[in-house]
Amino acid sequence: MDKTVTIPRPDDWHLHLRDGAMLKAVLPETARDFARAIIMPNLVPPVVTAAQAREYHDRILAALAPGSRFTPLMTLYLTEETDPDDVAAAAASGLVHAVKLYPAGATTNSASGVSDFDNVRAVLERMAEIGLPLCVHGEVTDHDIDIFDREAVFIDRVLDPIRRATPGLRVVMEHITTENGVDYVKSSDRDLGATITTHHLIINRNHILVGGIKPHYYCLPVAKREEHRRALRAAASSGDPRFFLGTDSAPHTDPNKESACGCAGCFTATNTMPLLAHVFEEENALDRLAAFASRNGPAFYRLPVNQDRLTLIRADTPTDFPPRIGSADGPVTVFDPGFPVYWRVS
């Protein structure tokens, strides 16, 4: 007999939709299962003002299929020229739900990010006053820091000093990848949460490097040792309200992923929910899938839990996921977990 799990319709608290032809191709993959998503602002040029966020929001709505029930939650890209008043007005209008901090050069399209954190103090203080979350890409970019240590060093050198200097600032550590990140979130009893991606629950750094380089497993922050993957699984499946789903689903065309200097990002929008059901079943925690995917994120962002429901079914035969989706820009490979998955969305 098939096994079923029904949860409130989930949300994605970290999503890349890109723009133009790519937006039109990948948006249906998220809108099919998810009710809302925090939309990343690292376009080229980045979304840095309320006016730009409104224009991007309208392009997303225009790309939705008729009758689709999906709400994009917009963010602003924090730069050293960001205007605190513009941020506050965007938040007050209900348009913008967070501001995104990229250390300059940390990941895709992050060249406009922050180099001198003293230059954004006024923005962070205003955000603390109004309760607007700061979403952080938690890696330092110093050339002398090993890429596998960047998250742990960021916590000590950047994040903890920012939080101490700005009491009341609500922070989301996005796509944590280390036991250090898990422990830091657990050390705080307020104003701190973390998203965990689908792919970081499934792969470690061996999957990228053993037997040849696997470009479709390459992401930033890069996957770490197995001990860190296990810590992420324990956190995600614990029911702890400080941890919630942010897929960081990041579409790149295959030629851009498979080039001599391939882009970072895993495209997981298509199959995230079946993959999560597989992971949570392995962790004997299917009863806590709703907390991770549907309840903890809205609680942190002070939004209601979705009233619609989503049902996952476990069948006796593996689910066939498309190996890639097409776009006018080129094909995008769907994340392959490397094992059969028996779950599907009803």
Domain range list for the chain = 12-271
Query: CA-CA distance, 66 to 101, in Å (whole number)?
Result: 33
Query: At residue 240, does pLDDT exceed 70?
Result: yes
SS3 of 13, please?
A: strand
**306-315: burial string, b at 16+ Cβ within 10 Å, e else:** beeebebbbe
Check residue 116 and give its pLDDT: 85
Whole-prediction pTM value? 0.96
What is residue 33's DSSP assignment?
T
> For the chain, what percent of residues have pLDDT higher than 70?
97
Q: Which of 2, 248, 287, 308 does the annotation list as catalytic?
A: 248
Counting Cα atoms < 13 Å in the Cβ hemisphere of 145 gives 15
CA distances in angstroms from 22 to 51, 119, 168, listed in the order given: 22, 34, 37
At 48, the amino acid letter reads V
Check residue 92 and report its DSSP letter.
H
Contact (CB, 8 A) for 4 and 309: no
pLDDT for the residue 66 = 94
The per-residue DSSP string of 129-187 comes to HHT--EEEE-----TTS-GGGHHHHHIIIIIHHHHHHSTT--EEEET--SHHHHHHHHT
**Stretch 101-109: mean pLDDT:** 71
Residue 1 has pLDDT above 60, yes or no: no
Residue holding tokens 């991606």? 197
Residue 281 has a pLDDT of 98
Dihedral sign for Cα 166, 169, 173, 179, please.
Answer: positive
Listed in order, strand segments (DSSP E) in 224-335 are 243-245, 309-314, 324-325, 332-333
Query: What does pLDDT average to over the chain?
Result: 96
- Is the per-residue pLDDT at 307 higher than 90? yes
What class has domain 12-271?
alpha beta
Whole-angstrom distance, CA of residue 98 vs CA of residue 121:
16
Integer Cα distance of 279 and 314 in angstroms: 13
Which pLDDT belongs to residue 101?
Answer: 94
For residue range 312-324, list pLDDT tens digits in order: 999 999 999 999 9
From CA 141, how far away is CA 151, in angstroms rounded?
A: 10
What percent of the chain lies above the pLDDT cut of 90? 93
d(CA 258, CA 335): 14
Among 16-25, 97-106, 245-254, name the one with the lowest average pLDDT. 97-106
pLDDT of residue 118: 86
pLDDT tens digits, residue range 138-178? 999 889 999 999 999 999 999 999 999 999 999 999 999 99
Q: What is the pLDDT of residues 216-229, one digit of tens each?
A: 999 999 999 999 99
Range 59-67 contact pairs with CB under 8 angstroms and sequence separation of 24 or more: 59/19, 59/23, 60/17, 60/23, 60/27, 63/23, 63/24, 63/27, 64/27, 64/31, 65/28, 65/31
At residue 144, the pLDDT reads: 95
Token pair recorded at residue 18: 């890109």
Reply yes or no on whether 248 is catalytic.
yes
